[in-house]
Amino acid sequence: MKNLDIPLAHARTRLSQISEAYEKDPKKKPLRITKRGKPTMTVMSCEFYDEMIETMEILSDHELMMDIGKAGKEIEGGNVVEWDELRKELGG
C-alpha cells in the first residue's frame, strides 16, 4: 500500500478536511506527514488503526497462529462439518 505524503504546513491548514475525509472513508490509505521532506508522522482512521493493532496482536500470538494453521490443514484435507449438520448435532 503506497502512502500519500503531504508537508506538515499543508496538513496543518487542512486538518479539519483531512479528519472529515477519514470519517467518510475509514479505509482510506494512511497519510504521511513530512517535515523538510522527511516523514515524521502518519494519519489514519481510528478504524484502520484498531484493525492494524488487532492484526498485529493475532500475528504475535504463537499459539493462535498454530491453531489457525492446523485449522487450514484440516479444511484442505476435507475434515469439515457442514453448518446444517453441526446445528442438528447441537440441537438447533
Rounded to whole angstroms, how far apart are CA atoms 49 and 43?
Answer: 9
Rounded to whole angstroms, how far apart are CA atoms 17 and 43?
Answer: 12
What pLDDT does 18 receive? 96
Rounded to whole angstroms, how far apart are CA atoms 17 and 91?
Answer: 53
Q: H-helix or E-strand containing 15?
A: helix 15-24
* pLDDT at 75 exceeding the cut of 80: yes
What's the CATH class of domain 4-45? Answer: alpha beta
Residue ranges of domains in the chain: 4-45, 48-89
Distance between alpha carbon 23 and the CA centroid of its chain, in Å?
16
What pLDDT does 91 receive? 87
